[in-house]
Amino acid sequence: MGLTGLPREKLPSLAKTLSGGWQYLVPFALLLFLLGGLRYSAQTSIIYTLGVLVMVSFFKKESRLTPKKLLVAFEESARGVMPIIPLCTVIGILVGAIQMTGVGMRFTSELLNLSGGNLMAILLMAGLAAFVLGMGMTAVGVYILTVVLLAPALIRANVEPIAAHMFLFYFGCLAFITPPVAVEAFIAAGISGGSPFKTGFRAMRLGFAAYLVPWAFIFNPGILMVGSWVNILTCFFFVTLGAICAGCAFEGFLFVRFQAWERLLSTVSGLLVFVPHFLTRGTGLGVIALIVMNQWIRRRRLKK
């Protein structure tokens, strides 16, 4: 489309940017360490991180927290949580009612019976439910509700717990860019002055790989750091490769414009490398190599 980035002379200096705000990397690194390394709860990790954030703000005069700045921070924080408090209240009542009445366990049993124990059927129903709920609720609301109702069924079907949670969360978020609702596409179209439906369909094309990622969580839990390091690195490689192939297929471009057969094969190969089996992945890699080679040859011809 002829789109280019900023000229090099207009890019901000990396050294200058880091020298002005390097201290803010310390609390962020601490947060990751507390959550991932020491396995602290989110609440405990945030409290420690906030304490360190206040301390590092004193490293520089311009970022130092004066009493006036502290009051402004309290005020802005209070304003930020005001829209969330009613949502949390409603969700808390709903989740409490589900747990106290036993509807959650009943729903899990019925879902397993309805699917006949078939994993793909359970995943399709759970994904569709999260997707529909995402059309009218916030991502947090969808996640909490689906985790209470649907996650137990997925876990009982031998799905890795963290994979079940991420599967539901992703499908709840995908409703925001998928027509006919596509809330985020409507917001973007309001800013750009474009058509909401055209924006939504363009968002689907640009983000098509995101529709595959929830399935990758289920069948390639290594991308969630589950399993050995060899399995984790292998999953990361093949899932990333599959996502790139799917993106190229929907945009119709790698080195040069795709031909029709290249689009078809790129889509198929992208799906094949997602499947954790040596035969499907080997076939997918062979097809990808063929597409890349053909694209490279066509590009050289065009240059000549």
Q: Distance (Å, rounded) from C-alpha 103 to C-alpha 5?
A: 53
* Backbone phi, psi, residue 253, to 5°: -155, 135
The confidence score (pLDDT) of residue 35 equals: 84
* pTM, 2 dp: 0.65
Helix (H, G, I), strand (E, B) or coil at 135: coil
The rounded percent of the chain whose pLDDT value lies above 70 is 92
Place of tokens 């079940």: 164
pLDDT tens profile 37-67 = 888 888 899 999 999 988 988 888 878 888 8
Most confident among 60-64, 112-116, 300-304 (mean pLDDT): 300-304
Query: CA-CA distances (angstroms) from residue 189 to 151, 176, 185?
Result: 34, 13, 6
The tokens of 109 are what?
């049993």
pLDDT tens profile 239-285 = 888 888 888 888 888 888 888 888 888 888 888 888 888 888 888 88
Is the separation of the CB atoms in 140 and 172 below 8 Å? no
Q: Distance (Å, rounded) from C-alpha 136 to C-alpha 138?
A: 7
DSSP one-letter code for 182: -
pLDDT-based confidence at residue 136 (cuts at 50, 70, 90): low
pLDDT tens profile 172-189 = 888 788 877 777 887 788
Q: Distance (Å, rounded) from C-alpha 250 to C-alpha 258?
A: 10
Q: What is the mean pLDDT of residues 188-209?
A: 83
The rounded percent of the chain whose pLDDT value lies above 90 is 8
The confidence score (pLDDT) of residue 91 equals: 67
Higher pLDDT, residue 30 or 101: 30
Q: What is the mean pLDDT of residues 226-241?
A: 88
The tokens of 240 are what?
């990333």
Q: Distance (Å, rounded) from C-alpha 166 to C-alpha 217?
A: 7
The confidence score (pLDDT) of residue 203 equals: 86
Domain ranges for the chain = 19-66, 85-206, 223-304
The confidence score (pLDDT) of residue 180 equals: 74
The tokens of 235 are what?
């999953």
Sign of CA dihedral 53, 58, 60, 63: positive
Higher pLDDT, residue 68 or 97: 68
Is the separation of the CB atoms in 176 and 214 below 8 Å? no
Place of tokens 């800013």: 191
Q: What share of the chain is helix, strand, coil (3-state, %, to 5)?
A: 80, 0, 20
Q: Which residue in 267, 243, 239, 263 sits closest to 253, CA to CA?
A: 263
Q: Count of residues for the chain?
A: 304
270: number of Cβ within 10 Å: 25
Is the confidence at residue 108, as pLDDT, over 70?
no
The confidence score (pLDDT) of residue 181 equals: 73
The confidence score (pLDDT) of residue 127 equals: 80
Q: What is the mean pLDDT of residues 101-118?
A: 70
Q: Distance (Å, rounded) from C-alpha 288 to C-alpha 296?
A: 12
